[in-house]
Chain A
Amino acid sequence: MSSNYFDIIRSGINTTFQDKGRNNLYHIGIPFSGAMDNRNYLLANRLVNNNLDLAVIEFAYQGPHLRYFGEKINFVITGDVIFFIKKKDTEIEGNCYESYQIENGDEINIVSTNKSVYGYMALGGELDIKFQWNSCSINTKANIGSNDGKKLDEGQRINLKKINSNKDIKKINYINTKIENIRVMKGTNFDYFSEKGKQIFYEKEFIVSKLSDRMGMRLEGPKIENIVNTNIKSEGLIKGVIQVPADGNPIIMLSDHGTVGGYPKIGAVASVDYDRLVQIAPGSKIKFKEINLSDAETLFKLYQMETQNLLSQI
């Protein structure tokens, strides 16, 4: 029985444990999973003096309300998130990217993400949760990972295995940039679509649908017409692939996506834009912009360097 733990007063909408995800399992039907916004996941761990591959709490839209019991511990929230810290008689509004120390009886209330989707809470220590295939990441669809593969629920307890002795408070100035233009490369079935369909894909705006989740981002807008076949023989998918089913509305594969699919692929999102893509909230507009492979590779390198830079400043 752990003596340091959180009780979940309110669980939030889709609160899960996530880490770097799991590799080499696509062939048996298991996707990567892992934190949706990788940069914010890494920053969260660094800000509480954790190893960068530890599990954190990921939430979407509304986060959890937690009460802590145990010895002093640091925590941090990353993303664009509104949250409050309640200590005995005082309640303060917290800042993202700034770690705080809490003690027995304190509460953290993560009210909502601000015009974004995912936020992260890292604790200075290690969660006492189960690994499955070298990852704690919860995949609620396949019920894989820690917490029996289920999202966190009210009344549950989150136990800590270890608390970091380094309790230095850390802070970084960072603002999440929002994007509307998503850079994409041509998909392997690009020629399945009519000239008009291709033009719509690159020139028109699409709206992110409410039906988006960790598996996929569904888009609504002008229909993209297919002139060859609206089905292909099922084949592998990766994160960021954009499939267009018969109804003409594109779907972007996200971290918990089905490992194979039978809809034609019109494009694939450049890795550089993935962290910011997943943060685009339902109802927002997005537009696709074509880039070539070598530009995509260069841009990703720059993005990685920027992430490393941020981490080294902490």
Chain B
Amino acid sequence: MIKNISNLGDAAVYCDFGIEVNKSINSNVIKYFNSIKEKKFKGINNLTPSYNKLIISYDLKLTNFNEVKNFVESINVTDSITSVSKKIEIPVCCNETFSMDIKRLEEKLNLSREKILENFLNKEYFCYMTGFIAGMPFLGDLDENMRAERLETPRVKVPKGSVALTEQFANIYTFESPGGWNIIGNTPLDVFDSSKEDKPNLINPGDIVFFKEITLDQYKNFNEQ
């Protein structure tokens, strides 16, 4: 399942599962992630699963590349180790106050605003990974006709809660951050909550996410209910 194992610097093992992005490759990545996490190998201090790669970081004081590589090669990944997948509804307000890049998308995709939102909202998304900033989910896949490049010049500040698109993916900015994705709406829901140390992320790899449109009034009242 792992096509190639190499070193990334002297403190990480780089596991390459291929270049394609699809659920089958990604679920292999997640299986390895779960197996390795469970086995608690001495010195491994971080695991970063992504679409088709798994990076295993280790403390060079405690282990080294060959030990970790041998360990990874010795793992027998079975189908029994799968993460529990949840289905999560995300309220999103696509009022023009929030949908900053909808005009750009209308031009780039040659679709009307209504059509873009209809396509976006009538779909379930698979969470491939979380990261970049804490808790940010990378969701896929958008239909072929919904795929746009990122902004030529990224924004210095993307507002917290922004729901945005790029290529075949959608994401949610869990807090204010720089970013270059096309923003189509905003969610009032806290997708990352650092006060919950055991479960700060609302969305985790393998989860299914769908968006439900809410009005500006519902958005404003959301956190007062």
Chain A residues in contact with chain B, CB under 8 A? 23-30, 32, 132-133, 141-144, 149, 185, 187-188, 233-241, 258-261, 265, 268-271, 293, 296-297, 300, 304
Among B55-63, B91-99, B213-221, the one that faces the other chain is B55-63
Is there contact, CB below 8 Å, between A26 and B57?
yes
Whether a CB of chain A sits under 8 angstroms from the CB of B11 is yes
Known contacts A185-B7, A235-B51, A297-B65: A28-B200 contact under CB 8 Å:
yes
Whether a CB of chain A sits under 8 angstroms from the CB of B48 is yes
Is there contact, CB below 8 Å, between A265 and B8?
yes
**B174 partner residues in chain A, CB cutoff 8 A:** 29
**B64 partner residues in chain A, CB cutoff 8 A:** 297
B209 to chain A, nearest CB (A): 16
Closest B residue to A260 using CB positions:
B131
Is there contact, CB below 8 Å, between A26 and B132?
no
A-B contact list, 10 entries, CB within 8 Å: A28-B135, A234-B50, A234-B51, A234-B132, A236-B131, A238-B8, A238-B11, A240-B9, A268-B10, A300-B10
Is there contact, CB below 8 Å, between A28 and B201?
yes
Docked CA distance A30–B53 (Å):
18
**Which of these, A187, A233, A270, contacts B8 with CB under 8 Å?**
A187
Is there contact, CB below 8 Å, between B47 and A238?
no
Whether a CB of chain A sits under 8 angstroms from the CB of B162 is no
Is there contact, CB below 8 Å, between A27 and B132?
no
Q: How many A-B residue pairs have CB under 8 A?
A: 136
Interface centre among A25, A27, A239, A240 (most CB of B within 10 A): A27
Interface centre among B130, B135, B194 (most CB of A within 10 A): B194
Is there contact, CB below 8 Å, between A268 and B9?
yes
B16 to chain A, nearest CB (A): 8
Docked CA distance A193–B107 (Å):
33
Whether a CB of chain A sits under 8 angstroms from the CB of B12 is yes
**Which of these, B16, B54, B197, contacts A132 with CB under 8 Å?**
B197
**Which of these, B45, B53, B60, B138, contacts A236 with CB under 8 Å?**
B53
The 3 lowest CB-CB distance pairs between A and B, nearest first, are: A236-B48, A268-B9, A236-B55
Is there contact, CB below 8 Å, between A261 and B55?
no
**Which of these, B10, B65, B132, contacts A258 with CB under 8 Å?**
B132
B206 to chain A, nearest CB (A): 12
B57 to chain A, nearest CB (A): 5
A196 to chain B, nearest CB (A): 24
Known contacts A26-B131, A258-B131: A270-B10 contact under CB 8 Å:
yes
Is there contact, CB below 8 Å, between B11 and A271?
yes
* A24-B46, A259-B132 known, 11 other contacts, Cβ within 8 Å: A28-B204, A149-B194, A233-B51, A238-B11, A241-B8, A241-B9, A268-B10, A268-B12, A270-B9, A293-B10, A296-B10
8-27 of chain B: CB within 8 A of chain A? 8-12, 14, 16, 19, 21
Is there contact, CB below 8 Å, between B194 and A142?
yes
A31 to chain B, nearest CB (A): 9
Docked CA distance A234–B19 (Å):
11
Interface centre among B10, B55, B177, B200 (most CB of A within 10 A): B10
Whether a CB of chain A sits under 8 angstroms from the CB of B158 is no
Whether a CB of chain A sits under 8 angstroms from the CB of B170 is no
Is there contact, CB below 8 Å, between B9 and A29?
no
Docked CA distance A270–B52 (Å):
25
Is there contact, CB below 8 Å, between B200 and A235?
no
Q: Indicate with 1 or 0, residue by residue over B127-139, a CB within 8 angstroms of chain A CB atoms.
A: 0011111111010
**B10 partner residues in chain A, CB cutoff 8 A:** 185, 268, 270-271, 293, 296-297, 300
**Which of these, B33, B57, B130, contacts A29 with CB under 8 Å?**
B130
